[in-house]
C-alpha cells in the first residue's frame, strides 16, 4: 500500500489544521500513518436487534487496532419496523435506507476514511449500508449483529415475534386465546437482544450479505448473544485493515455471480419478499444489471430446501446449528457460481470446507420442501410491471384463487374491516395508494396480513397491495404491484366486487374486467392529493422510483 485516502488529511505541512483537529480527538502522532477505519455503528436503545451492539463495537475496535489500523466510530440511525408498524411511523422505514446510504457516503468522503466496518442488523439498515459500500467502492466489511434466541415456554413450545404478537393479537380478537395467554406471548416473544427469530427481512438480509461475500463466514446466522458473534466482530476488525492494504473493494465482490448466488440462497430458504427491493437497489449501486425477471427465472429452477419460521417450523438458531449459510451453499453446490469473497476463500472453497449438514433443517436438492423457490414474480393486467409473492408462505389450497375485490385506499381502512369482521371467505382485499410514491414510503402490511392469518382466513381470503410486507408475513399476500395506484396503475381502477384471479403456478394476477370498462374508469381517474405534503417524505415521494426497480431514488 503506497498511498491511502487518509493521506489527504494527514500528509504534508498543508494539512497542519486537519492533523490538529485529529489530535483534538485524541489521535497521537504514532497513529497518523495507520489506515483510518470508520466503524459505522447503528447502535440504538430503540431496537432489540441493535441494543447489543455496544459489545460488538468493542470487539471490532480491538480487531482494527490488532490488525494495524486506527478506528473511528460514527453513528447511523435505525428504525424498528415492528415498533413503526401500523401507524404514521412506517412511512419512514423504507426511505431511511436511502438516508443511511447517503450518510455513510458523506462521512466516509468528508473524512477520507480508508475503509469501513458496517455494523448493522435490522431491515433497512443492512441494505442501506450495502448500498453505500457499493457506491463508495472503498474497502468495506459488514458485521450483522445476529438473531435473538427463540422464547421458551412450557412443554417445549418456542415463541417468536410475529406469530406470538401480531397473529396472537388477531387470535385474541377472535376469542381463540384469552388475555392471559396473550400476555404470555407478549412476555416471551422477544427474550434477548437480536433481530427477530425467524427468516424475516433482517435475518434474510444478513444471510444474503454473507452469501454475497461481504461478511465473514457464519456472520449471517451466529446469534446476537453468542461468543461466536464476538469473535466474528473481532476478526472483521482485523480483516478490514488487510482489505485496505490489499486494495480489495466491494465491486470486486458484488458481481453478477454474487447476486445470482444470493437470490438462489434466498429462494432455497424461503426468505423475505423485501429482499427483491433490496437486492435490486444494491445491484444498481454496484453497477450490476439485475432485472426483476431474474428472480422468477431462478425461482423456477431452485427448490425450497428449508421450512423456516414464520411459514415453517425452524428458527434462525436451528439454521445456525445446522451449518448456517455454508450448509445452504453446500446443498445448492451444483447451482452455485464461484465468486471471490471479502473473507479470503472463494464461494466454492467455502462449500468444499463443509463437513456436515443437518438435513432435517436444510434438505438436499433431491428431497426439497417445495420444487420451486420461496419467491415468485407475477404479471398480468393488474401488475404489468410485476408483483411479488412469498409463495413459501402460501398454502397449496390458495396457490390458485379467484376472489371478489374489497377495495381500501389505505392500510388503516383495510385493518378496520378485518378486525370488524367485515371480510369473509371469497373476498380479495385490495390495499392501494401505499406504494413508494402513494404511501409514501411503501409501508409494510404486517398488521393486516397477520390479522388475516390470525382470524383463520388464510385459506379463504387473499390480499394484494402496491405496498409491501414484513418478512414475517405469510399467507396469500401479493405486494409490490407495479405500476402503483398513485401512478395510475391498474390497481387504482379496481372497483368493489370485481373478480380477480390469483394464479401463482402460472405467475398471473388478472383483473377480470374488460378493457372497455377499464378504459372508461381510466378516463375518470384523477391523481390523488399527496398524503404527506411536508418534510423529508414529500421530497422522497417526488424522487422515488417504482417497486419493480427497487424503489430507489432518481439520480437526476
Q: Which residues are annotated as a binding site for Mg(2+)?
A: 81, 123-124, 444
User: 541 in helix, strand or coil?
Assistant: helix
The residue annotated as part of the active site, out of 272, 470, 482, 546, is 470
Q: How far is Cα 383 from Cα 378, in angstroms, rounded to an integer?
A: 7
- Other beta carbons less than 10 A from residue 20's beta carbon: 9
- Residue 122, judged by CB atoms within 10 A of its CB (0-12, 13-18, 19+), counts as buried
User: Strand runs (DSSP E) across 145-275, as ranges?
Assistant: 151-152, 158-159
3-state secondary structure of 486: helix
State how far Cα 162 lies from the chain centre.
16
Select from 163, 185, 449, 207 the least CA-distant residue to 310: 163
In 355-420 the beta strands, taken as DSSP E runs, fall at: 375-380, 383-390, 400-408
Which cell numbers hold the place of 422? 367485515
Helices H, strands E: what count in the chain?
21, 14
Q: What's CA 394's distance to the chain center, in Å? A: 19
Q: For residues 209 and 278, what is the distance between their CA atoms, to the nearest angstrom?
A: 11
Spatial contact of 89 and 79, defined as CB atoms under 8 Å apart: yes
* CB neighbour burial string for 252-279, b if at least 16 within 10 angstroms, e if fewer: bbbbebbbbbbbbbbbbbbbbbbbbbbb
Distance in angstroms (rounded) separating the CA atoms of residues 505 and 217: 35
Contact between 546 and 481 (Cβ < 8 Å):
no
- Bridge partners of 481, per DSSP, are none
- Between helices 324-331 and 256-269, what is the axis angle to 10°? 100
Look at residues 429, 388, 437, 389 and name the one whose alpha carbon lies nearest to residue 541: 437
Contact 487, 454 (CB under 8 A): no
Cell numbers for 207, please give them.
444471510
The answer to whether 245 touches 225, Cβ cutoff 8 Å, is: no
Check if 470 is active-site: yes
Instruction: Give the integer Cα–Cα distance in Å for 286 and 255.
Output: 8
Note whether 470 and 81 are within 8 A (CB).
yes
Q: Report the binding-site residues.
A: 81, 123-124, 444
Query: How many other β-carbons are positioned within 10 Å of the β-carbon of residue 93?
Result: 24
Question: From CA 159, how far away is CA 336, in angstroms rounded?
Answer: 34
Cβ-based neighbours of 409, under 8 Å, separated by 6 or more: 432, 433, 485
The answer to whether the CB of 127 falls within 8 A of the CB of 118 is no
Phi and psi at 479, nearest 5°, equal -125, -175
Catalytic residues: 470
Amino acid at each position: 500500500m503506497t498511498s491511502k485516502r487518509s493521506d489527504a488529511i494527514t500528509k504534508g505541512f498543508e494539512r497542519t489544521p486537519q492533523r490538529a483537529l485529529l489530535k483534538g480527538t485524541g489521535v497521537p502522532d504514532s497513529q497518523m500513518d495507520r489506515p483510518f477505519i470508520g466503524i459505522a455503528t447503528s447502535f440504538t436503545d430503540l431496537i432489540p436487534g441493535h441494543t447489543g451492539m455496544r459489545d460488538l463495537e468493542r470487539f471490532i475496535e480491538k480487531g482494527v487496532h490488532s490488525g494495524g489500523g486506527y478506528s473511528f466510530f460514527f453513528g447511523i440511525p435505525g428504525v424498528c419496523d415492528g415498533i413503526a408498524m401500523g401507524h404514521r411511523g412506517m412511512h419512514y422505514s423504507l426511505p431511511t435506507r436511502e438516508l443511511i446510504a447517503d450518510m455513510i457516503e458523506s462521512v466516509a468522503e468528508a473524512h477520507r476514511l480508508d475503509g469501513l466496518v458496517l455494523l448493522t442488523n435490522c431491515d433497512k439498515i443492512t441494505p442501506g449500508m450495502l448500498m453505500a459500500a457499493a457506491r463508495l467502492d472503498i474497502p468495506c466489511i459488514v458485521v450483522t449483529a445476529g438473531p435473538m434466541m427463540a422464547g421458551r415456554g412450557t412443554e417445549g413450545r418456542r415463541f417468536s415475534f410475529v406469530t406470538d404478537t401480531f397473529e396472537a393479537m388477531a387470535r385474541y380478537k377472535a376469542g381463540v386465546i384469552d388475555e392471559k395467554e396473550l400476555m404470555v406471548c407478549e412476555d416471551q416473544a422477544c427474550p434477548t437482544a437480536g433481530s427477530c427469530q425467524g427468516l424475516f427481512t433482517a435475518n434474510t438480509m444478513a444471510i444474503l450479505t454473507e452469501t454475497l461475500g461481504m461478511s465473514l463466514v457464519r456472520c449471517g446466522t451466529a446469534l446476537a448473544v453468542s461468543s461466536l458473534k464476538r469473535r466474528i466482530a473481532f476478526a472483521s476488525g482485523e480483516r478490514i485493515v488487510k482489505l485496505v492494504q490489499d486494495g480489495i473493494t466491494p465491486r470486486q465482490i458484488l458481481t453478477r455471480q454474487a447476486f445470482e448466488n444470493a437470490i438462489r440462497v434466498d429462494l432455497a430458504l424461503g426468505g423475505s419478499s423485501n429482499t427483491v427491493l433490496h437486492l435490486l437497489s444494491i445491484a444498481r449501486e454496484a453497477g450490476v444489471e439485475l432485472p426483476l425477471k431474474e428472480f422468477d427465472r431462478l425461482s423456477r429452477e431452485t427448490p425450497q430446501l428449508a421450512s423456516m419460521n414464520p411459514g415453517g417450523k425452524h428458527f434462525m438458531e436451528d439454521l445456525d446449528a445446522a451449518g448456517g449459510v455454508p450448509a445452504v451453499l453446500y446443498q445448492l453446490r451444483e447451482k452455485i457460481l464461484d465468486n471471490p469473497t471479502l473473507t479470503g476463500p472463494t464461494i466454492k472453497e467455502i462449500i468444499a470446507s463443509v463437513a456436515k449438514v443437518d438435513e432435517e433443517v436444510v434438505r438436499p436438492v433431491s428431497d426439497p420442501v417445495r420444487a420451486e423457490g420461496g419467491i415468485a414474480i407475477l404479471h398480468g393486467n393488474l401488475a404489468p410491471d410485476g408483483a411479488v409473492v412469498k409463495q413459501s408462505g402460501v398454502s397449496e389450497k390458495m396457490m390458485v384463487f379467484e376472489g371478489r375485490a374489497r377495495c381500501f385506499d389505505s392500510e388503516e381502512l383495510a385493518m378496520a374491516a378485518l378486525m370488524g369482521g367485515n371480510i369473509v371467505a371469497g373476498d380479495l382485499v385490495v390495499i392501494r395508494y401505499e406504494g413508494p410514491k402513494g404511501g409514501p414510503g411503501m409501508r409494510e402490511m404486517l398488521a393486516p396480513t397477520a390479522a388475516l392469518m390470525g382470524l383463520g382466513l388464510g385459506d379463504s381470503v387473499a390480499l394484494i397491495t402496491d405496498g409491501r410486507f414484513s418478512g414475517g408475513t405469510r399467507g396469500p399476500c401479493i405486494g409490490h404491484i407495479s405500476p402503483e395506484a398513485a401512478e395510475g396503475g391498474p390497481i387504482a381502477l379496481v372497483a368493489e366486487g370485481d373478480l380477480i384471479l390469483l394464479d401463482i403456478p402460472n405467475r398471473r394476477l388478472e383483473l377480470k374486467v374488460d378493457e372497455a370498462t377499464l378504459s372508461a374508469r381510466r378516463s375518470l381517474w384523477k391523481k390523488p392529493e399527496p398524503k404527506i405534503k411536508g418534510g423529508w417524505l414529500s421530497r422522497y415521494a417526488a424522487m422515488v422510483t417504482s417497486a419493480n426497480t427497487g424503489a430507489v431514488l432518481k439520480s437526476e
